[in-house]
Amino acid sequence: MRKTLGALGLLFLLSTPVLAQTRDGADTGDTAWLLVSTALVMLMTAPGLALFYGGLVSQRNVLSTMMHSFFILCLISIQWVLFGYTLSFGHDLHSVVGGLEFLGFRGVGQAPLPNSTVPHIAFAMFQGMFAIITVALITGSFAERIRFGAFILFALLWSTLVYDPLAHWVWGGGWLQKLGALDFAGGTVVHISSGVSALVAAVMIGRRIGYPGKVAPPHNMPLTLLGAGLLWFGWFGFNGGSALTSSGLAAVAFGVTNTAAAAGALAWTLVEGLTRKRPTALGTATGAVAGLVAITPAAGYVHAISAIAIGGVAGILCYWGVNVLKARRGYDDSLDVFGVHGLAGTWGAIATGIFASTSVNPAGANGLLFGNPKQVLIQLAGVVAAWVVAAVGTWVILKAVNWITPFRAASEAELAGLDASIHRETAYHFQTTDAGRQ
């Protein structure tokens, strides 16, 4: 009897590693975490970002603004499968762009890539959600004043010509990755690129009619707060999923993400209370997003105490960008994409070079505070590269789109609201009953 039980126990122990893997060699735990993370990042765009942006615009433009995020989810999902993924993660071509071996997701199947524990297709879909939200972020800069057809053309060109090459530079074997630049989950690839592009777009497209004095205030702050909460929730997959394993590193990224968001929210609220004597719900939510943006490149490289510093500085820096810099320069970045994503993304990339520690992630590098000042210079190179490619690429794309079709909506359409003038829809239908009339 004992021999039988012993044999069964030995058989169980030997079979356990096999049961934890798919037949193609992928680890089931890592795969499950990555699939959940992919869904969380998808949730950040629609409904998260759609609600966050939708509440901030006027009642006349809420549907058109939310439509941008939802339509981007559809458009870039197809672009990514057809050619976006292979341009980003295909075989390295001269450190600039990926080759075409994954065109149409050819060869992107259930088997893991070399040195990976998750199915290739799971990795590809996870990365696709990053491409989607990056383009969607830019739309906040020109909300309430653009034509839908021109927006579609811009989104497709920008994702292909700006996002895909930059993703390859940083994550796909390109020159910035070879240089040693650290970007755990998208500080340069996602936030600097979208923030700088948003600034260029806001300046080139011009101000909304009546800006700043006669522009309607946010029409529905509860929508915005709900969107902010969903963004925070989804960010756990955004950063934690970037570990690509269900591991201690994913747990670290999860923890510092929450810590930095809280620090950013507290810092913004404190500064707003001291300077304006009225802390606001919008300010607290925006500060949390600033902290989330800033920790993104550092999430898998820093300790929790460093996350407090990174998030706190981001909250203060972005408060200045939104309330001081924009007013002084006079540009109309409708929903403060540059003031939050551009500035916090830049700070977060540099901060990674200051606070990174190999005690958190041996695959990374030590930063300035851990004896390696060179890492700050490497991070600065990544920041400059992201700024340049985003600014120049956006300028060229906007010029080309505007040559093909006007980007700016007609004055009559803008004044009437894009929901009614472009989409022939109304967000809210208020009806008065006979009893109400009495």
Greatest CA separation found in the chain?
Answer: 89
In this prediction, residue 25 has a pLDDT band, given cuts at 50, 70 and 90, of confident
Q: What is residue 213's predicted lDDT score, i.e. its pLDDT? A: 86
The contacts of residue 351 (CB under 8 Å, 6+ apart) are 294, 297, 298, 306, 309, 310, 313
Residue 300 falls inside a structural domain: yes
Say how many CA atoms lie within 13 Å of 197 toward its Cβ. 30
The secondary structure of the chain, three-state, reads CHHHHHHHHHHHHHHHHHHCECCCCCEHHHHHHHHHHHHHHHHHHHHHHHHHHHHHCCHHHHHHHHHHHHHHHHHHHHHHHHHHHHHHHCCEECCCEECCCCHHHCCCCCCECCCCCCEHHHHHHHHHHHHHHHHHHHHHHCCCCECHHHHHHHHHHHHHHHHHHHHHHHHCCCHHHHHCCCCCCCHHHHHHHHHHHHHHHHHHHCCCCCCCCCCCCCCCHHHHHHHHHHHHHHHHHHHHHHHCCCCHHHHHHHHHHHHHHHHHHHHHHHHHHHHHCCCCHHHHHHHHHHHHHHHHHHCCCCCHHHHHHHHHHHHHHHHHHHHHHHHHHCCCCCCCHHHHHHHHHHHHHHHHHHHCCCCCCCCCCCCHHHCCCHHHHHHHHHHHHHHHHHHHHHHHHHHHHHHHCCCECCHHHHHHCHHHHCCCCCCCCCCCCHHHHC
pLDDT value at 150 more than 50: yes
Q: What is residue 201's predicted lDDT score, i.e. its pLDDT? A: 98
Q: In whole numbers, what is the pLDDT of the chain averaged over residues?
A: 93
Residue 420 falls inside a structural domain: no
Number of domains in the chain: 1
The contacts of residue 209 (CB under 8 Å, 6+ apart) are 145, 411, 414, 415
In this prediction, residue 23 has a pLDDT band, given cuts at 50, 70 and 90, of low
Task: Identify the CATH number of the domain in which residue 320 sits.
Answer: 1.10.3430.10
Q: What is residue 429's predicted lDDT score, i.e. its pLDDT? A: 85
Give CA–CA dist 375/181, Å, rounded.
8
Residue 207 falls inside a structural domain: yes
The contacts of residue 7 (CB under 8 Å, 6+ apart) are none
Q: How far is CA 86 from CA 26, 98, 99, 139, 164, in A?
A: 21, 6, 6, 25, 9
Q: How much of the chain, in percent, has pLDDT values that exceed 70?
A: 93
Q: Which of 394, 364, 390 is nearest to 379 (CA)?
A: 364
Q: How far is CA 255 from the centre of its chain?
A: 18
Residue 242 falls inside a structural domain: yes
Q: Is the dihedral of CA 313, 319, 322, 326 positive or negative?
A: negative
Residue 212: is the preceding peptide bond cis (ω within 30°)? yes
Give CA–CA dist 253/236, Å, rounded.
8
The total of other beta-carbon atoms located within 10 Å of residue 6's CB is 10
The total of other beta-carbon atoms located within 10 Å of residue 121's CB is 15
For 163, the domain range is: 24-408
Strand partners, 402: none
Render pLDDT for 89-99 as a digit per residue (tens, 0 to 9). 999 999 999 99
Q: What is residue 3's predicted lDDT score, i.e. its pLDDT? A: 53
pLDDT value at 24 more than 90: no
Render pLDDT for 224-240 as a digit per residue (tens, 0 to 9). 999 999 999 999 999 99
252, 300 in Cβ contact below 8 A? yes
Render pLDDT for 282-322 as a digit per residue (tens, 0 to 9). 999 999 999 999 999 999 999 999 999 999 999 999 999 99
Q: What is residue 8's predicted lDDT score, i.e. its pLDDT? A: 44
Residue 61 falls inside a structural domain: yes
Q: How long is the chain?
A: 438
In this prediction, residue 14 has a pLDDT band, given cuts at 50, 70 and 90, of very low
pTM: 0.93
Render pLDDT for 186-227 as a digit per residue (tens, 0 to 9). 999 999 999 999 999 999 999 999 998 888 899 999 999 999
In this prediction, residue 388 has a pLDDT band, given cuts at 50, 70 and 90, of very high
pLDDT value at 433 more than 80: no
Residue 218 falls inside a structural domain: yes
pLDDT value at 148 more than 80: yes
Instruction: For residue 45, give both structure tokens.
Output: 């765009």
In this prediction, residue 171 has a pLDDT band, given cuts at 50, 70 and 90, of very high
Between 10 and 334, the more confident residue is 334
Give CA–CA dist 403/415, Å, rounded.
24
